[in-house]
Structure 1
Amino acid sequence: MKKLNLLFIVILGVTFISCSSDDRDENRNNNNLIGTWYGVSTNGNISRVPDNNIVKFTSDNRVQFIYEGFGIDGEDISEFGNWNKSELTLTITWDESDSGLENYVLEILELNESTLRWKTEITGEGVLTETYTKD
């Protein structure tokens, strides 16, 4: 009976440790996402800021996309939403959008302290791959 209890405790401990590690890895990846990201390439075309995109992720799961100079008379345009990350999928739910375009789903290809690279398929246009960096 003592061996059975010991085996149960060992299995329970290993399960607890492995789950805790996964949670810490996910939190670290989410922390890497938080901050201000500046576009460096779109579909592999390298430039300092493609389309003048800046993306800001906050710890309260809010996101702001800033398109510098794309408004009337060169004004900046911003879009706001909520972000949710699950493993390698980043979903942005826009505050305001056309019907059917409420969710922007991105596949994270790379995420670390200084590089964010994702891709998404845009209906009728193909696959869009973007790379961002934190300064």
Structure 2
Amino acid sequence: MKKIALINGANLNRLGVREPEIYGSATLKDLENSVVSLGKELGVEVSCFQSNIEGEILNKIAEFADGGFYGAIINPGAFTHTSVALRDAIAGSGLKFVEVHISNIHKREDFRHNSFTAAVCEAQICGMGFEGYLAALRFLAK
């Protein structure tokens, strides 16, 4: 069975509470349940992880890479726009990554238009809400 990680970064634990006009009212748990449920339908094992701490995300990527995972869906949150270390962890992991953003980062503040991580991912999906995560899972499951 193919194993795929779901990694959510900075502030995504606040989904449903933080800026619902941008991110909606559903919670991180709602998101994780949707992705895990679709994974079961697709015959994919999904492991979920969220942290607001960059180093914990880097360690978890290495753990997934060493644990026989095929790929990962990642929403780095603000680390998207700031972290060379995260970019290097993704590039060096050997995993296939899809970067996902709930909002369309290209329609927001200028600093959000730049992603350090997108260039080392297979694809970037943004602006589709939680559906973007499901699209990423379908892509990686193939």
Higher percent of residues as helix: 2
Compute the TM-score of the two structures, normalised by the length of structure 1: 0.31
- Bigger RCO (CA 8 Å, 6+ sep): 2
Between structure 1 and structure 2, the one with the greater Rg is 1
